[in-house]
Amino acid sequence: MSVRVRIAPSPTGNLHIGTTRTALFNYLFARHEGGTFVLRVEDTDRERSKSEYTENILTGLKGLGLNWDEGPGAAEPHGPYFQSERQDLYHAALQGLLDQEKIYPCFCTPEELQVERSAAETAGVTYVYSRKCRELDADTVSARIASGDKKVYRLKVRDEEVVFNDLIRGEIRIDASLIGDIIIARGDFNPMYNFAVVLDDIQMQISHVLRGEDHISNTPKQILIYEALGAELPRFGHSAMMLAPDRSKLSKRHGATSVQDYLAMGYLPEALINYLALLGWSPPDTQEIFSLDELVQAFTLERVTKAGAVFDIEKLKWVNTQWMRRLGPEGLWPRIKPLLEAQGFDLSQQPESWWIETVRLVLDKLVVLPDYLHQCDFLMQAALVGKPEDIQKAYALSSAAPVLDAFSAGLETLENWDLPSLQAEFEQLKTALPYKVKDIMWPVRAAITGRVAGADLMQSIVLLGRERSLNRLNQALDQLKVQAQTQE
C-alpha cells in the first residue's frame, strides 16, 4: 500500500503545538515509509476561520521544516485543498446517498430532541435518537420540505459493532446501536465535520489517518460513513493527548500553546520539533537529540506510546540548550542577529567575526535566544549600566579601590591586547595584591561588566577592547572616589 497521510488544521487560531505534533508524526511516518504528506485546510467554520490564521499555520509548518507534498502552494492533484472550496463535491455525494436512501431528512426540533434526551436521563440509559423521522413516508417528507420545515440529514446506522484495529492502541470495538443515526449534513446540504473529513480523505486517497486520541469517538461514525459511501477504509492510529503538568488537557491557562509563542520566546525550530517528537514517541535507544532527518530515519508507529504525554517546559529548555550547542556560535549568530537589529543596535560597528565571538563567549549560559541580550549587554552598551546591586556589593569591598587602581595601571601598559597577554597580566597582579581572589575579581568584573558573575572575564575584556576596558576601570575609580568623599 502506498502511504498517503494528511494534516487538516482548522484556521480558527494560530498553529497549536498539539496540531504541530500531529503534523510531525504524519510527516515522519510519510517520509520514513517513502509516502506522501498532504495538507488540507478545514475552513468551513466561516465565523471563526481567518486568512491570517491560515497564513500563520502554513508559514509555521514550513518554518519548522514540515513541508507538504500536496496542498496549498504545492502539487494539487486531488484539490481543492480548502474545504470551503469543496462544497459542490459534498453536495453531490450527499445527493447520491439520499438517492440510495442511505440518509434521510430529520425534522425533529431541538425541543423534541430534548424531551427524548430527558427521558433517557430519567431512565438512566444512554441517549440515542429515536429514529422517528426515519419512518416517515415519502409524501409526508415531501410535504414537510415543501412547507419549509427545518431539517438535518441523518445517516441510517446499522445496529452492530463497529470494529477497527488501531495502529497504536490495538483493537477497538464500539456498539453502533449506542451511536444512533448520526447527523451528517444540515438542511442546505452543508456537511457536518465527520462527513466532510471522510469524503475528503476518500477523494485524496488517504491511506492512514493518524491523529490524537480525542478523535477516537469520531472514528466509528466515520467508518459508518465510509461504508455508506462504499469506500475502502484507511488505517487509523490515535496518539496520546498532550497534557499539562497537572495531567489535564494542555490549554492556554497553562501558558503558551502556539508555535509562534515559543518561537517568539527564543526557542529554536529544531529544538521544538525535537521535543515534540519525544512527546508520545519513544526513541529506539537512549538518544534524545534528533535532527528532523534523524527523526525520519528512527520514527515508527510501533514506538508511539499510548500514555498521555506531559508537556514539560524544563525539558524543552534542556533540548533547546542542546541545540544551541549543536548549532554553535556560527549557526546561532543568524538567529540572534535579528534580535539585535530589532533593538536598534548598529551591527556594522564590529565585524561579523567579533559578533560570532560574543556568542561563543556566552554560549554555555544561553537557554533561549533572548538570553544573549542579557548576557552580552555590557559589550554593546556605550555607558555601562549593569546590575546596581552587584556593583554596590563589589565596590563596598575594602579592596575595590586599590584593586581597580592596580589593574588600571597594569592594563594601561599592556603591549598586546590578547588573551595570553591578559591572562599573564592578571596572574601577576593577583599575586602582587594582598587580597583573596574574590576580593580582587569582584571589583574588576563589576567595573568591566556591571556584574559579579558571568562570562569569562578575560575573554570579555578582549572583546570589549583596550579603550573601553580602561575607560570603565577609570570610571569605576572615579565613582569610588566620589563615594569616599561623600562618606567623609
d(CA 268, CA 335): 9
Q: How does strand 208-212 pair with strand 183-186?
A: unpaired
> Does residue 11 have a cis peptide bond before it, meaning omega lies within 30 degrees of 0?
no
Cell 576601570, residue located: 473
Active site (annotated) includes residue 252: yes
Q: Which of these is catalytic: 62, 249, 252, 436? A: 252
User: What's the per-residue H, E or C state across the chain?
Assistant: CCCEEEECCCCCCCCEHHHHHHHHHHHHHHHHCCCEEEECECCCCCCCCCHHHHHHHHHHHHHCCCCCCECCCCECCCCCCEHHHCHHHHHHHHHHHHHCCCEEEECCCHHHHHHHHHHHHHHCCCCCCCCHHHHCCHHHHHHHHHCCCCCEEEECCCCCEEEEEECCCEEEEEEHHHCCCCEEEECCCCECHHHHHHHHHHHCCCCEEEEEHHHCCHHHHHHHHHHHHCCCCCEEEEECCEECCCCCECCHHHCCCEHHHHHHCCCCHHHHHHHHHHCCECCCCCCCCCCHHHHHHHCCHHHECCCCEECCHHHHHHHHHHHHHHHHHHHHHHHHHHHHHHCCCCHHHCCHHHHHHHHHHHHHHCCCCCHHHHHCHHHHCCCCCCCHHHHHHHHCCCCHHHHHHHHHHHHHCCCCCCHHHHHHHHHHHHHHCCCCHHHHHHHHHHHHHCCCCCCCHHHHHHHHCHHHHHHHHHHHHHHHHHHHHHHC
d(CA 438, CA 386): 19
Taking the CA atoms of 454, 460, 461 and 464 in sequence, report the sign of the dihedral they define.
negative
- Residue 374's CB: how many other CB atoms inside 10 A? 12
> Is the separation of the CB atoms in 408 and 477 below 8 Å?
yes
Side chain identity at residue 344, one-letter code? G
Give the active site residues.
Answer: 252
